[in-house]
Chain A
């Protein structure tokens, strides 16, 4: 699929509460060993799309650290490439720091390549999708724009503020509006947009004249209303979740402890690639009690862990108890300490015998490097 450029659009990422105060959602840790962007980049890689651009809005340090040499997600390290696109002027004008503005200052990638199609995706919408059939359909039907959607039954609780589609009889998008949470059943946009390069160029040109603060999410409804092009809708029925709050981050992490559900996201034919850290396997002590949890490599667990997700290099002391908690990398939990319904950010230290308890509705967040 050399005819295609993939774009990971970090401009539309919502905040996950304090978790994203100092990092972008794309580089936020997920399920022990991943960052959200791994899923977007792996989808491109597994779909045979060699050239990818990451439209970075802010916190590029954290993103660059995770991206490393950028080659962990490409099939061929010569023909494949991941570029970081960053809009310097966006720092001074956050209101105008949209994905289209970013793409405009980095438009050389479009001129440089011979790609005829551009595929957008957003890291906060987590899914494992083969984009090849989507592209094949788009090309075979001579579409200008294709939008991937999913029919959900809980739109009153999830995908809030995301785009909801109304389709016409031919399967084209009739209208796009924001999900205000009033209806449970909805066709929600998964923010995977396939668009012809020429159509994209026209959209970018128009963008300056319409409203420079707008991004793709605003320009698509505008294009529909003004009859610029039709948007073909393509249905996706697999696992997809929209990460838009700390609560959803926690809920969606825990739901994957159900192996049957996890098996619908982690597919053997389409693995999720990530950065290697060369950490040894997890070591469990003689009195450890661990149940229903994801444990990452590099952990040293001597206490009790239940219904939790433990990231890399976490130490859990003797007789410590960790329940319904997400513990990010390099955290130390002292002997006999207790964590319940807590999200512990990286490098935090919970000293011996300390007790931190939230409840399932009121999670406690311990910030990066905190010492209790």
Chain B
């Protein structure tokens, strides 16, 4: 595909509603599914689509994320004709500035895009969980001869006011786009995944940068403006599993969706073929399940030690669940330590967090809670 389609992954967001989980790392670097970080999904999707030029735009708490992305090796994006660049805000002749919005982040990296010289640019969010190839979306973009194609996902109409909502005509051209409408006219939510024809995008970004009124955001400024200007805007309907996990509860639920009891909502085992997800592989021993352990309806990564009971749990590598400990309906992240006789329920245990012996956390609690402290494994 050479540089026909380049990808820009927006990975600078803080994800405030994930509370302590994003205190020290950006949301795309948050752990998911026992083994993965959220950004593994868009990066693996790029790799599986055959995209070779990927820019990852980072800003908030970026050091861990920048290190993780590196040269793209974990996703095979370091081949002879590949380019993976971590693009952080920088000092320039004009001065220095943070990324002011999603559009501004791309604008500040026009030089990078010019060097890559793509025909089309795919704009992605670094914090969405889904497994797909972008080929179908590019086909839609080409067939419609669109200037911009937006991937959209049907949501329940009562939830529609949380999203950017698209209204397409019969041919799939977008006629209306409203960010978080009070009275939505459709249930098609923008997934924040766009393909732009680069020439058009480049001109729009330069104009937008000059506009002092603009918030420099794709959903709020660029897309509505392009619609007003009568650009060709197409919708690409996506029907697979897709989650934007904004809160502790939704991150917990997205983890639980991976379990066998989660049905076929998403299953890492069914995406093992062409759309497999790649990730870091720490050099840990295989997981050990102890002599008195009970393991039910769970997903457990290598390097975990389970000597107690886990029921309906997702357990990351390096986590220890000691004998007599009980974990129900929990996401236990890396290097967490659930000590003897303690009991945790309905929660996410943050990385390197844990319980004291005999300590209970959120037992019987109806709300999904977050356990975050420094009682986990230190290394």
- Interface set of B (CB-CB < 8 Å, partner A): 33-35, 258-261, 268-269, 272, 276-279, 281, 283-302, 305, 314-315, 379
Contact indicator B296/A291 (Cβ below 8 Å): no
Chain A 246-286 against B: per-residue CB contact (8 Å), 1 yes, 0 no? 00000000000101001000101001111011111111111
Contact indicator B286/A296 (Cβ below 8 Å): yes
From the candidates B276, B288, B296, name the one contacting A286 in the complex (CB within 8 A): B296
Which has the most chain A C-beta neighbours within 10 Å: B272, B276, B285, B379?
Answer: B285
14 contacts between A and B (CB under 8 A): A31-B285, A32-B286, A33-B302, A262-B285, A278-B279, A279-B272, A280-B269, A285-B297, A290-B295, A291-B293, A293-B288, A296-B286, A297-B286, A297-B287
From the candidates A266, A281, A294, name the one contacting B301 in the complex (CB within 8 A): A281
Q: Which residue of B lies closest to A271 (CB)?
A: B283
Contact indicator A281/B33 (Cβ below 8 Å): yes
Contacts of B283 in A (CB 8 A): 271-274
Contact indicator A278/B289 (Cβ below 8 Å): no
Contact indicator A284/B269 (Cβ below 8 Å): no
Contacts of B276 in A (CB 8 A): 278
A293 and B95 CA atoms in complex are apart in Å by: 59
Contacts of B284 in A (CB 8 A): 271
CB distance from A112 to the nearest CB of B (A): 26
Contacts of A280 in B (CB 8 A): 33-35, 268-269, 272, 277, 299
Q: Which residue of B lies closest to A276 (CB)?
A: B281
Contacts of B292 in A (CB 8 A): 291
- State whether A31 and B302 are in contact (beta carbons under 8 Å apart), knowing that A276-B281, A290-B295 are contacts in the complex: no
Contact indicator B299/A284 (Cβ below 8 Å): yes
Chain A 283-307 against B: per-residue CB contact (8 Å), 1 yes, 0 no? 1111111111111110010100100
CB distance from B321 to the nearest CB of A (A): 13
In the complex, the number of residue pairs spanning A and B with C-beta atoms less than 8 Å apart equals 113
Q: Which residue of B lies closest to A282 (CB)?
A: B300
Q: Which residue of A lies closest to B278 (CB)?
A: A278
CB distance from B41 to the nearest CB of A (A): 12
Contact indicator A295/B299 (Cβ below 8 Å): no
From the candidates A32, A281, A286, name the one contacting B299 in the complex (CB within 8 A): A281
The 6 closest A-B pairs by CB, nearest first: A276-B281, A280-B268, A32-B286, A281-B34, A281-B301, A271-B283
Contact indicator A282/B299 (Cβ below 8 Å): yes
A33 and B303 CA atoms in complex are apart in Å by: 11
Contact indicator A284/B290 (Cβ below 8 Å): no
Contacts of A288 in B (CB 8 A): 295-297
Contacts of B302 in A (CB 8 A): 33, 281-282, 296-297
- State whether A295 and B300 are in contact (beta carbons under 8 Å apart), knowing that A283-B259, A286-B261, A290-B293 are contacts in the complex: yes
From the candidates A257, A268, A284, A302, name the one contacting B300 in the complex (CB within 8 A): A284
A257 and B286 CA atoms in complex are apart in Å by: 11
CB distance from A79 to the nearest CB of B (A): 18
A288 and B259 CA atoms in complex are apart in Å by: 13
Contacts of A272 in B (CB 8 A): 283, 285
